[in-house]
Amino acid sequence: MTTPPTHTEQPTLSRRQLLQACLVGGGIALSGFSLLHWWTGSRLTAQTFIGQAETYNTDLAKLIRQGFQELGITPSEIKGKRILLKPNLVEPHQSLSHINTHPLVVRGAVEAFLSLGAASVVVAEGPGHRHDTLLVLEESGLADVLYEDHIPFQDLNTMGGIVMPNLGGQTTLATLTFPRIVKEVDWVVSLAKMKTHHWAGATLSMKNFFGVMPGNYYGWPKNVLHQAGIPQSILDINATLKPHFAIVDGIIGMEGDGPIMGTPVQSGVLVMGRNLPAVDATCCRIMGINPDKIEYLQKADQWLGPIHESLIEQRGESWRTVHRPFALIPEIPAHRGIRLT
Amino acid sequence: MIQEPYLYFLEFLQSVQLPNGGFPYHSGEEARPDATAWAIISMSAWEFARENCDRGRAYLVSQQTNDGRISISPTHIEASWPTPLAIFAWESVPQYQEAQSRAIDYLIGFTGQHFSNPDPSIIGHDTSIPGWPWIAETHSWVVPTALALMALHKVGLGTHPRAIAGQQMLLNRQLPGGGWNYGSTTVFNRELRPLPECTAIALQSLAGNTAFHKIERSLQYVSHELPRLRTPISLGWALLGLGAWGLKPANTEELARVSLQMQERYGPYPLPSLALLLCAVKASHGLHSLFRSLPQETPVSSTRN
């Protein structure tokens, strides 16, 4: 999940930090996360790739394959793997494509994984606001792509669940119920949208996994998670699910009052990587948002991944060359003080 | 005599019943209470496979907990949103009156988390009006409240304080421009967008207990959306919601056939969706009209407090 450390520091552990580390250590050890690195003083690093695409008519499969190559993802790593792609279809409306992961990004990702020898690729989503998932597919335009390309789809809202211990420990939820399909695939990929968010500041690859949690058990709009705390739930889900890859659709993103009522903004990028906090931190910089000011990213830092620029090796474009500040709304508390300066 | 293609799909429902009497969400899966309830409601409405319906009702009893709820699974008893569906499935069948009565008692005693709204400029709706949540100990939302309200009305408890409050809650969550979404009206002073499936369910639940002028814009919204609705959940509820207000479209069967044919493109519909659409075809005036023709209807006492 991470590349070898490039920086070494000697952190000092307080008694409380040590206790917290012990309490969650089992989960961290199982997940291969950072306890050993932390204990030995290494810092997490990661690579992210930024690919430019001015429009959705770009050859997106080719761009994603380029990203794979830059990130060291080889056919031998993907061959025979079962891939689950989780787009963001939280609340589609016709003619408002900036709300959702664009269908052509989904198509490009499917093609890219299959071209590297994936055994299967399934698209799966549990829309957060709508329980008519078939209408969600139709209104988002994804239904046509799935049908034309014979891509299977699974409704995660209604799928039977598997109960897993909560490895994040940020909420009071002792367990999390995931759809059973997450145990039937080899890679879980967040196929997110680049958007501002009026509760969380920004919604990117990590927040996208709210849509994995079945509405049958969490309600619409994922009530249990809102009740437990949005930043905390984002961390718990990601720490427990341990996703493998992220692709964020920022070709046209959403600024202002995201994640639904904002306005389209063209950033012209796809952002990709194995480490989701690093991908999201990079997206934030592109959006003109300081990732240190996004609560869930700040808490994820050096636990689930790196968010500081010096620890993220940038491939493809530099974030500075595609930097396009997203509009923020001062009246929204989650938008205050998060501007990257 | 039941015409095609409805007979074909009713026989399909019948064919996937499991040995324990329950029905699965998809053919080949294990039984689920929501799918079972919808299969029973639909087949009963068409007066089809009475014995299968009865086995399904018995399955629902087996899923009922001591407090009367019917949850989506025994491992998630907090997800008790199928309870109103079971109340419908047991409707008008004397041997299940006790089970139905216990489910009603549960609904009356069950609510979401409610609180004074600290800042209406952030969350626009009145967060203090009690309705019903999807999941225990969370806020109340439109669909579970509408389903619970329908169930209370069906059993003659439309004037119960919980039903009155539920009605008020739904009206409070109606968008200023008409329609409902999952249950938020404005957030940060911005009006959210309506959704046809939520609007239609709310309209169905308010039929017969709400003045027309209070929901007229929402009816207009669903009527406007109807021609483009092809999916069984949204189309099914739209037909029921309009029908409940005496506006069942003349081309209902044509719309339903188009929807059923879409399975050639998308594959077989989940059982609850298919059953809902079959109910919508059969219902003359919304969901409640499906039960009126059933014999032995014995409304539950309306003296509950």
Percent of chain B at pLDDT exceeding 90: 94
Band of pLDDT at residue B163, cut at 50, 70 and 90: very high
**Side-chain half-sphere CA neighbours of B154 within 13 A:** 29
Question: Please, what is the average pLDDT of chain A?
Answer: 91
| Domains contained in chain A, CATH given | 48-335 (3.40.50.11440)
Which CA distances in Å does A187 have to A67, A84, A120, A152, A274?
Answer: 17, 6, 10, 16, 11
Structure tokens at B98: 């006790």
Pairs of CB atoms within 8 A across A/B: 97
On whether the CB atoms of residues B209 and B158 are closer than 8 A, the answer is yes
Q: Is there a contact between A306 and A312 (Cβ–Cβ < 8 Å)?
A: yes
Look at residue A94 in the predicted model and tell me its pLDDT. Answer: 85
The encoded tokens of residue A174 equal: 């002792």
For residue A184, pLDDT over 80 is answered with yes
Mean pLDDT to the nearest integer, A84-94: 94
Instruction: Suggest the residue from A136, A220, A227, A260 to mutate for an interface test with chain B (most B CBs closer than 10 A).
Output: A220
Asked if residue A221 has a cis previous peptide bond (ω within 30° of 0), the answer is: yes
What are the pLDDT digits (tens) for B178-205?
Answer: 999 999 999 999 999 999 999 999 999 9
pLDDT at A1 over 90: no
Distance in Å, alpha carbon of B254 to nearest chain A alpha carbon: 19
- Report the C-alpha gap between B231 and B273 in whole angstroms: 9
Cβ atoms within 10 Å, residue B161: 12
Whether the pTM exceeds 0.90: the reply is: yes
Inter-chain CB proximity A163 and B229 less than 8 Å: no
**Per-residue pLDDT, A37:** 52
B123 backbone dihedrals φ, ψ, rounded to 5°: -110, 120
Q: Say which amino acid occupies B17.
A: Q
Q: In a mutagenesis test of the B interface, which of A177, A223, A225, A230 is the best target, namely the one with the most B β-carbons within 10 Å? A: A223
| CATH of segment(s) B6-292 | 1.50.10.20
**Residues B234-266: tens digit of each pLDDT:** 999 999 999 999 999 999 999 999 999 999 999
DSSP classification of residue A303 = T
Tell me: pLDDT of A9 over 70: no
| A241-297 per-position pLDDT tens digit | 999 999 999 999 999 999 999 999 999 999 999 999 999 999 999 999 999 999 999
Burial of B98 (0-12, 13-18, 19+ CB in 10 A): exposed
Pairwise pLDDT comparison (B221 vs A41), residue with the higher score: B221
Give which of B30, B76, B85 to mutate to test A binding, by max A Cβ within 10 Å.
Answer: B76
How many other CB atoms are there within 10 angstroms of residue A331's CB atom? 12
- Yes or no, beta carbons of B187 and A215 under 8 Å apart: no
- DSSP 8-state assignment for residue A159: S
**Whether B139 and A257 lie within 8 Å, measured CB to CB:** no
Q: Is the pLDDT reported for residue A15 higher than 70? A: no
Q: CA B38, CA A62: separation in Å to the nearest integer? A: 46
pLDDT of residue A13: 39
Q: What's the pLDDT score for residue A57?
A: 97
Q: Do B232 and A217 touch (CB under 8 A)?
A: no
- The tokens describing A121, both together, are 């690729």
Instruction: Give the amino acid at B44.
Output: S
CB proximity A122 to B under 8 Å: no
Report the pLDDT value the prediction gives residue B44, as an integer from 0 to 100: 97
* Rounded Cα distance, B151 and B201, in Å: 13
- pLDDT score recorded for residue B192: 98
Provide the pLDDT for residue A339: 98
pLDDT at B294 over 60: no
Mean pLDDT across A176-201: 98
Say whether B152 sits in a helix, a strand or coil. Answer: helix
Of all residues in chain A, what percent carry a pLDDT higher than 70?
Answer: 88
Write down the pLDDT at residue A95.
84
Give the start-to-end residue ranges of the domains of chain B: 6-292
Residue A34 has pLDDT above 70, yes or no: no
Confidence of residue A24 (pLDDT cuts 50, 70, 90): very low
Residues of B near A (CB-CB distance < 8 A)? 25, 29-30, 72-73, 75-76, 79, 81, 113, 133-135, 137-139, 141, 143, 181-182, 187-190, 192-193, 195-197, 229-234, 265-266, 270, 273
Q: Among A43, A37, A41, which residue's Cα sits nearest to residue A6?
A: A43
pLDDT for position B305: 56
A143 with B266: Cβ contact below 8 A? yes
Left (φ > 0), alpha (ψ -120 to 50) or beta: where does A302 sit?
left
pLDDT of residue B304: 63
Per-residue pLDDT reduced to its tens digit, B7-60? 999 999 999 999 999 999 999 999 999 999 999 999 999 999 999 999 999 999
Nearest to A130 among B30, B141, B195 (CB): B195
- ipTM tops the 0.90 cut: yes
